Structure 1
Amino acid sequence: MALWTMILRKMANNKWLQLNLWFGLTVCVALFSSMPLYSEAILQRTLLKELQLLQSQSAIYPGFVRVSSTVSSSKMDKETYEAIARADRFVQTIPDRAGLEALSFYQQRFTQKMKVYGADASEQEKQSQKTAGSFKSLSDMEKRVRLIDGRMPVDRMDGVFEALVTQKFLFATKRGLGEELVAESPEEDRQRFRVVPVGVIETDPAADPYLPYLTTEAEDGFIIPFEQFEREFTKGGKARLTDLEWRFALNYEQLSVDNIDQFIKANADIRRYFRGRLGVEDVNVPAIETIASYQGKQAKLDVMMLSLYSPVMLMLAFYLYMAANLIIERQKTEISVLRSRGASRLQIMTAYTLESVLLGLSALAAGPFLGVSFTKVLGASSGFLEFVQRSALEVSLTSSAYKVAAIAVCAAIMLILIPAFLATRVSIVGHKQQMARLTRMSFWHKTGLDVILVSLAVYLLYNFNKRQEDLKRLALDSDALQLDPLLFLMPALFALGGGLLVLRVYPWFIRIIYWAGRRWWSPALYNTLVQISRSSGQYLTIKVFLIMTVATGLFSANAARTINDNMESKIQYGVGADIALTTRWESDAPPPLLPGSPQQSQTDQGFAETRRIQYTEPPFQPFQELEGVEAVAQVFKKEEVRFSAGGSGTSGKTMLYGIDTMDFGKTAWMKNGLLEYPINSYLNLMAPNPKAVLISRSLANAAKIKPGNPIRVSWDGLDQVQFTVFGIIDYWPSWNPLPAGEAKDGKAAEPHLIVGHLGTIQNRLAVEPYEVWLKLKDDVSSQLVYDQLAERKVQVTSLRDAKQELILSKNDPFRLAINGVMTLGFVISMLISFFGFLLFWVLTLSGRTLQYGVLRAMGIPFPQIIGMLVSEQVFTSGAAVIIGVLIGNLISEMFVPLFELSFSTTERVPPFEITYQLSDYMQLYSIVGIMLTIGLLILGYRLSRIRIAQALKLGEE
């Protein structure tokens, strides 16, 4: 009990220090717990959104499951009946297997097709009648169909089947309701069944919004009561069953990321069970591909978030260590006295361990709830320090979040106990010696940790760049590179090592300033320079802390901005304009024939080779009249076009673009810096000459062509047409210049491009379908264009919308994680930096109360005391901020290219480029400036409260 009393009293005496330490622990817990919370919440939201998109695009409920099987048995014997019964029982377990509630269910059975004719039909009518239908059963028939005429059938025992039919089938039988029909089996026994249609039905969507029964799927047949079908056919065997079908509508909104594996396993179990058991199976789960794409995605997202959080975690670890070290520094005298009076190191460490456990448990109680708030911030970010009104993430605390939080608390407790463990090794004499040796070299510099960290970061960066070059050279996908999460920790390690390396020589820089102007410095500045040069180790912690804050903040800003800009540029470049679409062209092409048909070989050898397909160009004016469209361009694209160079005689295949230079220049999107000159300069160059073309640099190098040389172009069934090369280009809107295959020599083959006038190509070669590119006016939605195209009945065959693709890209879980973690990491870094700044300087001022009291007693006015404080801040905190900016820019140049791995190797067009934005720097400088200003005001206020007499009395004691 005495130990607990001592611990509680010690914590009460240092409540502000303990509060800072608790704050760091709580933020640490919140940060770690937010990782599993975010990955689960964001993947859950995107999964549901993709399933909803699937429903809107294909008009199929995402929870739809259809299982059908043929019945291969030729007789309905007991063995077949028992197999069907077992299949029924298995189907009933599907919702439990998938872990989802069944919102709706029905099943159908089908007999073999039978010849149908009227009971009063003559022999001639029987022979001419071609109508065929089967007996069908539908569970819950009364609730699923809409009766438009007649009544519902009843189960009769006199050998006559009452049935429901569709209007189309009733017309085919040439009979009316109530008139008896005969269904004649095709089997050898020619068994006949008497059927009376008593009702006409149609689909009733309102009967079941999740799983409507569609009468249009199987219109030819008699629907009889399910129980009657089971008695007469399934058990009775009066006719052979050919098909069985079960349909479910599962509640897909209950599908969570955690039970994706269960759903996929259920799908595999269904397919495995029905494979060959009754006959040929057909399992249709439309959402399985979408759901399967999320398998393992959470683990990858967790690894990426851990990698992205690494700099912030290092900052938190540094903060916790600094706060614990400052607390121990104030208590070293007490610890050394306890040691001199016989207390063992174990007893002292036990007291500090219990104290840390109390703080850790309180942080564990509050941290996960703060982690929920962090998760919501992550979900609302759309860019670095940019937030949008997006629907809030549905976040709930889970056991995995508490497990991660508990691990983080344990690791943090071990970290903050290190200073206490080191302090218990020092006796009271050693403690006094250490207090007198403030100029001693720090542990960081003694061990050469700064050089080690910088060397390690540079070495890993070198290996990474080397592997990147191999990927580009071999045109491999980025998945071929096993991404090491430590690569994302490297910027923080380099910032720490680089900061320590600069601070190794920084005291010498202060001494040079001191020696250079020691005759002219004012007393305040003179005292500051002496204080900093003689006690450089005292300021090392806060300077390293500020350097890491500013450097990682700049890295986060530049990394997030670079990723966002490059992804948006990739999408806009790939589309070429705001919207790119193709429409249906009329042609004289023959209809497609089934493979193996007698006419197929004739077509392959004759028609396609002797006569070209003639197309009729649809009117272009409707596109020019669209409201909200700023510019429209016709862009003809043709692959596998043959070329031959005039002088070198080189020939090969290339991509051919045909454009109208004026319209193309107004419509196309092109990133600055990709071409040697602005794109409009190239368009103006080729505009006056209809035979002018631009060629890609790959084509120029392969064929040894220069501007002014002729080049001939043609494709199947056309004569060659000569053009003149006017320019060489490296990129062109929507054209990918990166290798996309393997050449014979093992190297990736580079694609080629020729850009010419559309009018010349159409006049001298052929008129073939082209794309229509649209540039929309500012603040015009794509939906406005879609509505106008539908209103004008324009038959669009393909469409790419850059705006919609950008929206989908911004909602990608991995991109949301990058933007959210970068923003959250920066905010947390600034927050803990502010608290660390105040904590350090308040304790420093408290320790130098006697010094400031003596200075005031000597007659130095209070403004000069404030000047000393400001100049001390400039040479410590201000210098650390400047060093942090320089290191932040350096690590951005070195490590931001790591994020190029998020793009596929063949899709890195335009080239990955580091993006800097002045607003990000202004935000950083503003936040740091406000932090330092507030800190100085608080320090100045505390300094003004120092009483000289009290300080001198304290010194006498």
Structure 2
Amino acid sequence: MALFLMILRKMVKNRWLELSLLVGLIISVALASSMPIYTHAILQRMLIKDLEVLQTNSQQYPGHSYNSAYVMGESGDQLLEETDDFMAEQSQQFGLPILLSTITRSTLNFELTPSDPSKVDPKVNRAAELTAMSELEKHIRIVDGVMPSKEPVDGVYEAWVFPELLTQLKIVLGNELTIADKDLKQNIRIKPVAVIDRSDYADLYWTNNMGDLRSKFFVPFALFEKDFTKNKMFPNTFSYWDYILDYHQLKLEGIEAYTSTHERITGYLSSHFNTYMVKNPAITTLKLYGEKEKKLRIMLWSLNVPISILLAFYLFMVANLITERQKTEIAVLRSRGASRTQILLGYVLEGILLGGVALLVGPLIGLQLTKILGASNGFLAFVQRAAMEVKLNKEAYQYALIAVTASVCMTLIPAVLATRATIVSHKQTMARKNKLSFVHKMFLDVVLLAVSIYLLQSFNRRMNDLVSLGLDSMDMKVDPLLFVVPALFIFAMGLFLLRIYPWVIQLFYLIGRKWWPPYLYSTLLQVGRSTTQYQFIMLFIIMTLATGLFSASAARTMNKNIEEKIRYKNGADIVLQTKWDNDAPPPESGPSGIQSEASSASQPVVKKRVQYTEPPFLPFTQLAGVESAARVFNKKDAYFALGKETKKTAFMGIDTDEFGQTAWLRDHLLDHHFYEYLNLLAADSKAVLISKSIAEETGAKVGDVVHLGWNDVEGATCVVYGIIDYWPSWNPNPILTAGTKTGSSSDTTKQSKVDAPKLVIGHLSYIQNNMAVEPYDVWLKLKPDMTSQALYEELELKHIPLTSVMDTKQMLVLSKNDPFQLAVNGVMTLGFLIAIGISFIGFLLYWVLSLSGRILQFGVLRAMGISFAQLIGMLIAEQLLTSGAAVLIGMITGNMASRLFVPLFQLTFDSSSQVPPFQVSFDPNDQLHLYVIVTVMIGAGLLLLGTMLSRIKIHQAVKLGED
């Protein structure tokens, strides 16, 4: 108890330091606990979105569990009863609300004969089945007739029918039919008494039960069960069990229960029935989620590596400051007989107290951080997106416990080192503050820098192979080293520059030693002789700013490259394909196909080229909100002939002026501006531009006359006017294709070869006049305030028929909602904000403690006649030489890390489709934010230190020194 009280008193005495340490612990725990919360939340959102897309694309309800079996034999009624109970029990095991459950019984198709041939034409072949659906009465409306009786009327079974059956069987209500079959124990008479229809066409009850309505007599379910199922009137029947589940309530935790239930149902039906069917549209989607969760979890951890290292360094720095203030006390305790274990026990209890508070508060803050991650629409950009479903779970507390344990252990390292010192060694250390740190003595900075550069070269080699060979990097796992190495480089580079920095101070001191004023002379000596003292805060600021810059650049680069990839691939804001009239014959089938095949044997058939009629283009240019429109003709299977050499190529026909106003292309991709190539092309109707791949393979050059065309077209002569590397919507990256290679053995082994894509750009008018008129795409550039929905409404209003639409804006929205993109933006934004926050706290904490430890020195200087203004000048100079230098080094290191390592993020994408090339992006606003924050930080520090200095009284300072 005495030890506990002593610890509490010590914590109260150092309350600001302890509070700063607690803040670091809480942030560490919050960050760690936010990862499983965010992973769960984003996968939960993605799960429901994927199921909704599945419903839209396949027109199948994802929450539908459809099960059927063919029941044979005398014991079928008992087996059906057991199966009904099993299905009812298993439907509860899905873990979802059951919106509807339906049991359907059905017989085989039987031939029907009129009971009264005088009322029904007996010559018509009729066949149908008897069907019963549970709770059918609640989901239909009677169009004509009356409700069927629940018991046979004079031996006749009354039934509901849909109108299609009356038409198919050519009967009317009230016509009685008889089922006579040798397999039946007796003849069955059936009479339709009511025509029905669905009461609600959107009712999920009819999800999978709208088969062939032309051959179904619906009888009351209870009657069917009593007379047909239990009495075995029909030896063989079909049974269906349908469950409509509310898939919007499906949770990630329930996926295993859902899939297990599906497997149990499948296993039961396969073991009890020879013929059965189990369908559940959601199962395929659910089975992919394990891999998605694994990849997202690795990516989140990887993205958080730099900020985690920064937090660890912050905790170590604060713990070291606390220990530094208590080293004399520790040395005294050691000299008076206290063991290292006893001293460390006090620090352990202190860490447990602070860690316990962090463990209670941290996960709650992590919950709020997750909401920030979910609202991010880009780096430092937030939108009012639908809130993610976030909640604390067991895994979040497990991560929090690991984080708090690791953090507390980190804070104990300085205490462990401090307990080694005696009072003598402590005084010796204080007298030798100018000695090199352990890291610099062992040249760890040089070693770490060499390792990070080696890993950088390794990543660069891998990336070059991916791009040059056209490999798909999506098959690769996310490599955590891709995020660890930049943090290692920042740390090593910061240490390396701090090794050089004292020499810079010495040089600066020597250059002006005869002219420096006293206060600057004193500051240069103070900083130059105590570089080890300032290394912690300088390295901390360097890492903070460099990590912030790297995070900003990485996020901006990934966002911008994804956006540019979509814009380049599409070529314009909207790409439309309209319907073209043509004279193509209808597809041959049936007897006509046989006839034409027979005739082709007797005489050859000349295939006629299809003639197209070009629809009006003017309406597209007159659409409200459209800034410009262009016609773009694409032919993928054209040919390029130069002399005797012919190459397969893609062919694009454009109107140069309209194309230049509409298409999108990033600057500096071509040797000259995009418009210059269009102006070059516009000079001659026969002019074409060719890709560099064509020039390299055929030797074509500017001025060559070439021949262009495609199958069924005579082709035309053109002149090469330019050679291009990139063009809107064209991917120049090599494509990996399968080839064969025969070795010395008889076996033929497959290998891969690289096929470089080729492109020729020409005039659309020249193509139409000299080759053929064929369908082209319409490219639209929208005005900034125009929305896609408004454009669609305008197209519908003007009755413009479309066959396909490619909307760049909608694709950009989808990319921003991608879980991996959300993770990048959210985590990078959070890391940037945390880095700036702890940097501000650490900066103020260090300088306040530093000043409080130098009160005697400042008091003596004031007593010697140094004015208050000169003291302030000393502080400003000291800040510039330490914090200012650290800021400059941090900016340099952050920019270097960004330029060296951000291009490696291309490894996480498909390099073959990454066009335009990956480019590192810097947003001036991010650096401006950093400059403002640094200015505010240093300004606040100077203001605080100046205020503290102004309150120093000389006699108190001198008295303090005497004590």
Structure 2 length-normalised TM: 0.94
Q: Which amino acid aligns with 1:923?
A: H
Q: How does 1:652-691 map to 2 (within 5 A)?
A: 652-691=647-686
Q: Tell me if 1:10 matches 2:10.
A: yes
Letter in 2 for 1:912: F
| 1:815 aligns with one of 811, 816, 821 | 821
Q: 1:109–1:241: 8 Å Cα contact kept in structure 2?
A: no
1:168 counterpart = 2:164: yes
Conserved in 2, the CA contact under 8 Å of 1:7 and 1:351? yes
Contact 1:337 1:428 in 2 (8 A): yes
Q: Aligned letter for 1:547?
A: I
Mean Cα deviation higher: 469-478 or 933-942:
469-478
2:613 is equivalent to residue 616 of structure 1: yes
Correspondence for 1:946 among 935, 948, 952: 952
CA 1:277–1:769: 2 relative to 1, 3 Å: farther
Equivalent residue number for residue 147 of structure 2 = 152
Amino acid at match of 2:22: W
Q: Relative to structure 2, which stretch is displaced further, 57-66 or 622-631?
A: 57-66
Aligned partner of 2:937 among 919, 931, 939: 931
Contact 1:180/1:194 (CA < 8 Å) preserved in 2? no
Match of 1:286 in 2: 281
The SS at the match of 1:396 is coil
Quickly say closer, same or farther: Cα 1:699–1:258, change in 2 above 3 A: farther
State the 1:686 CA deviation: 1.6
Matched, 1:367 2:362: yes
**What is residue 502 of structure 1 aligned with on the other side?**
497
CA distance in 2, matches of 1:931, 1:780: 43
Q: Shift of the alpha carbon at 1:337?
A: 0.9
Contact 2:132 2:221 in 1 (8 A): yes
Call closer, same or farther: CA 1:574–1:170 in 2, change over 3 Å: same
Which string of whole-angstrom CA distances, capped at 9 and with x for unpartnered residues, describes residues 735-790 of structure 1? 11112232647431111111122222223222222222111111111011212323
Q: How does 1:434-833 map to 2 (within 5 A)?
A: 434-592=429-587, 598=594, 610-646=607-643, 649-742=644-737, 744=739, 746-833=752-839
Question: Does 2:122 correspond to 1:126?
Answer: yes
Which moved further from structure 2: 825-834 or 84-93?
84-93
Which whole-Å CA distance do the structure 2 matches of 1:624 and 1:332 have between them? Answer: 79
Structure 1: which 5+ runs fail to align?
none
2:421 to 422, 426, 437: 426
Secondary structure, aligned partner of 2:721: strand
Label 1:454 to 1:709 Cα distance change in 2 as closer, same or farther (>3 A): same
Provide the rounded CA distance (Å) in 2 between the counterparts of 1:261 and 1:188. 45
Q: Map of 1:147-296 to 2, 5 A cutoff?
A: 147-157=142-152, 158-177=154-173, 179-185=174-180, 192-205=187-200, 208=203, 218-239=213-234, 241=236, 243-271=238-266, 273-274=268-269, 278=273, 281-296=276-291
| Cα 1:664–1:210 shift into 2, 3 Å | farther
Whether the 8 Å CA contact 1:166–1:215 is kept in 2: the answer is no
Sort the Cα spacing of 1:670 and 1:392 in 2 relative to 1 into closer, same or farther, 3 A. same
CA separation of 1:603 and 1:293: change in aligned 2, threshold 3 A? farther
1:106 paired to 2:102: yes
- Of residues 862, 865, 870 in structure 2, which corresponds to 1:859? 865
The 3 A distance-change label for structure 1 pair 260 and 187 is same
Could you tell me which amino acid in structure 2 is paired with residue 632 of structure 1? A
Superposed displacement of residue 729, structure 1? 1.2
Q: Distance in 2 between matches of 1:159 and 1:728?
A: 88
2:748 corresponding residue in structure 1: none
State the Cα distance separating 1:460 from its structure 2 match: 1.1
Partner deviation per Cα, 1:829-887 (whole Å, 9 max, x = no partner) = 11111111111111111110000000111111101101100100000000000001011
Confirm or deny that 1:342 pairs with 2:337. yes
8 Å contact kept, 1:114–1:183: no
Is residue 203–residue 213 contact of structure 1 (8 Å, CA) maintained in 2? no
* Structure 1 residues 378-430: Cα deviation after superposition (integer angstroms, max 9, x where no partner): 11111221111212222111110000000011111111111111111110011
SS at match of 2:117: coil
Would the aligned equivalents of 1:95 and 1:101 in 2 still touch at CA under 8 Å? Answer: no
Aligned sequence identity (%): 48
Deviation for aligned residue 1:583: 2.6
Indicate how the Cα distance of structure 1 residues 188 and 483 shifts in structure 2: closer, same or farther if over 3 A, else same: closer
- 1:877-924 CA distances to partner (integer Å, 9 max, x unpaired)? 000000010111100011101211232122111111111221111111
Deviations 1:56-95, CA, capped at 9 Å, x for gaps: 55554432332345x3x7xx42244455445434433453
Query: What is the aligned length?
Result: 949
Whether the 8 Å contact between 2:143 and 2:197 is mirrored in structure 1 is: yes
Deviations along 1:674-699, one digit per CA (max 9) or x if unpaired, are 22222222222122422222111111
Q: Give the 3 Å change call, closer, same or farther, for CA 306–603 of structure 1 in structure 2.
A: farther
Aligned-pair CA distance for 1:295: 3.0
Q: Is the 8 A contact 1:117 1:182 kept in 2?
A: yes
Cα distance in 2 between the residues matched to 1:456 and 1:630: 53
239-248 vs 705-714, greater mean Cα deviation: 239-248
The change in CA–CA distance for 1:580 and 1:274 in structure 2 (over 3 A counts) is: farther
> 1 CA distance for matches of 2:714 and 2:80?
66
Shift of 1:131: 4.1
CA distance in 2: counterparts of 1:608 and 1:677, whole angstroms: 51
Question: Per the alignment, do residues 53 and 235 of structure 1 end up closer, same or farther by CA in structure 2, a change over 3 Å counting?
Answer: same
Q: CA deviation at 1:275?
A: 5.5
Counterpart CA distance in 1 for 2:45 and 2:518 is 63
Distance 1:359 1:328 in 2: 16
C-alpha contact 1:554 1:889 (8 A) present in aligned 2: yes
- Shift of residue 719, structure 1, vs aligned partner: 2.0
8 Å CA contact 1:740, 1:749 repeated in 2: yes
User: Quick one: structure 1 residues 755 and 601, their matched pair in 2 at CA, closer, same or farther if it must change by over 3 Å?
Assistant: farther
Change beyond 3 A, Cα 1:774–1:836: same
1:945–1:713 distance in 2 versus 1, CA, 3 Å: same
Q: Does 1:355 align with 2:336?
A: no
Q: CA RMSD in A?
A: 2.5
Contact 1:310-1:492 at 8 Å conserved across structures: yes
CA offsets 1:98-119 (integer angstroms, 9 cap, x no match): 3322111113222222344543
Which piece of structure 1 moves more, 833-842 or 208-217? 208-217
CA shift at 1:311, angstroms?
0.7
SS in 2 for 1:357: helix
Segment drifting more, 99-108 vs 113-122: 113-122
Deviation (angstroms), 1:232? 3.4
> Does the residue aligned with 1:295 lie in a helix, a strand or coil?
helix
Indicate if the aligned counterparts of 2:546 and 2:891 stay in contact, CA closer than 8 A: yes
Contact 1:477 1:906 in 2 (8 A): yes
Work out the CA distance in 1 between the residues paired with 2:474 and 2:101: 42
Q: Using the TM superposition, name which of 427-436 and 637-646 deviates more.
A: 637-646
Q: Which amino acid aligns with 1:920?
A: D
Q: TM-score, normalised by structure 1?
A: 0.95
Using the TM superposition, give the Cα deviation of residue 293 of structure 1 relative to its aligned residue in structure 2, in angstroms. 3.9
* Aligned partner of residue 465 in structure 1, secondary structure: helix
Is the CA contact (8 Å cut-off) linking 2:166 and 2:214 kept in structure 1?
no
Matched-pair contact (CA < 8 Å) for 1:695–1:753: yes
**Cα deviation digits, residues 589-628 of structure 1 (max 9, x gap):** 3444679974796799999862223333333333233221
Which amino acid letter does the alignment assign opposite residue 573 of structure 1?
A: Y
Please state how far the C-alpha of 1:14 moved relative to its aligned partner.
1.0
Unaligned runs of 5+ in 2: 742-751
Secondary structure of 1:694's partner? Answer: strand
Question: Relative to structure 1, is the Cα distance of residues 207 and 650 closer, same or farther in structure 2, using a 3 angstrom cutoff?
Answer: closer
The separation in 1 between residues aligned to 2:934 and 2:590, in whole angstroms, is 71
